[in-house]
Amino acid sequence: MSLKTTQQYLKQPSSNLTRYSLFVGGLNATKRAIEQYDPLRLSAPRIFFVKMPPFLKALSEEKTKNFKHLLEYGFVSVNGLSNITLETDQITGGYNGRSFDVATFSRDDTNEITIRLYEFSGSPVREFLSLWVTGISDNLTGYGHYHGAREKNGKLMRYSQANHTAEAIYVRPDPTGRSDSIEYACLLCNMMPKLIDIDHFNYESGSSPIVQIDIPFTCVKYESADINKIAVKLMEKYQILTNYLDFRSGYTEQDVKNMPASTIEDLT
């Protein structure tokens, strides 16, 4: 029977951790030693929105695609992952009332994750968040109308939690950023924005900052070996540039041939 852990299919530690004394008795920094206790370092995360709200896709496939792209490639911070904690209760007894702890429940209290984006000219972030939030609950009437979104058969889309929530897989690789270097992955479900940020439209004399928007999403977090496996496949499919020497200029040899002749002779 194979043991399933939160690290299955992801990067594994050395199998020789116990062969070296680490820091007891002095520091051993020889190659044979440090190969066994390589410190954890992380690179920038990746987030893949594997499901966008169906009612928004029905309203505008293009706007949904654009917003999904901003979430996946334009974020500057992701915050809100909570630690898993073990709760305990106490048993008390004896004349002096001494007690000891008994384990009760382990809990993952991650219920909100905040993604920070830059806003762009034309306010695509605010526009999409407004469609999302007010489609779920109109800020004037309180009704959930999905802005009239319809199914492919022409019927009005049924109001349902499944039709207005998103799902994403969040991944933290090591400094290589490769699919075989993932240190952590989780699935975030039941995602809905909790805020339409318009604070940046307020004004103070002498201030004209670049606009960043914090988007707090409701969420429920899951971790499993299966999620790890899907995270690896997503990283393989959507691999990004990791070596600056692989950067493409966007020009071709044909572009060079079509450029006008040099006029250096005219300068001599």
Residue 106 pLDDT > 70: yes
Whole-number Å distance between alpha carbons of 139 and 113? 23
Question: CB of 259 within 8 A of CB of 206?
Answer: no
- For 108, the token pair is 């993952």
DSSP secondary structure letters along 26-68: S---SHHHHTTSPPP-----EEEEEE--HHHHHH-HHHHHHHH
CA distance 131 to 66: 14
pLDDT at residue 24 is higher than 90: no
**Does residue 207 belong to any structural domain of this protein?**
yes
What's the pLDDT at 31? 85
Burial class (CB in 10 A: 0-12, 13-18, 19+), 245: exposed
251, amino acid identity = Y
pLDDT recorded at residue 1: 64
- 163 falls within a domain: yes
Instruction: Tell me how far apart the alpha carbons of residues 180 and 223 are, in angstroms, rounded to a whole number.
Output: 18
* Dihedral sign computed on CA atoms, order 215, 216, 218, 219: positive
Q: Is the pLDDT of residue 91 over 90?
A: yes
Q: What is the mean pLDDT of residues 2-25?
A: 83
User: Is 70 exceeded by the pLDDT of residue 164?
Assistant: yes
What is the number of domains present in the chain?
1
Q: What would the mean pLDDT of 241-265 be, rounded to a whole number?
A: 81
Helix-strand-coil split of the chain, %, nearest 5: 30, 25, 45
The domain containing residue 179 runs over which residues? 40-90+103-241
Q: Which residues pair with 46 in a beta bridge?
A: 171
pLDDT digits 0-9 by tens, 134-145: 999 999 999 999
pTM greater than the 0.75 cutoff: yes
Does a structural domain hold residue 32?
no
**Is 183 inside any structural domain?**
yes
> Residue 24: inside a domain, yes or no?
no
In whole angstroms, what is the distance from residue 52 CA to residue 166 CA? 5
pLDDT in tens, 207-250: 888 999 999 999 999 999 999 999 999 999 998 888 888 888 99
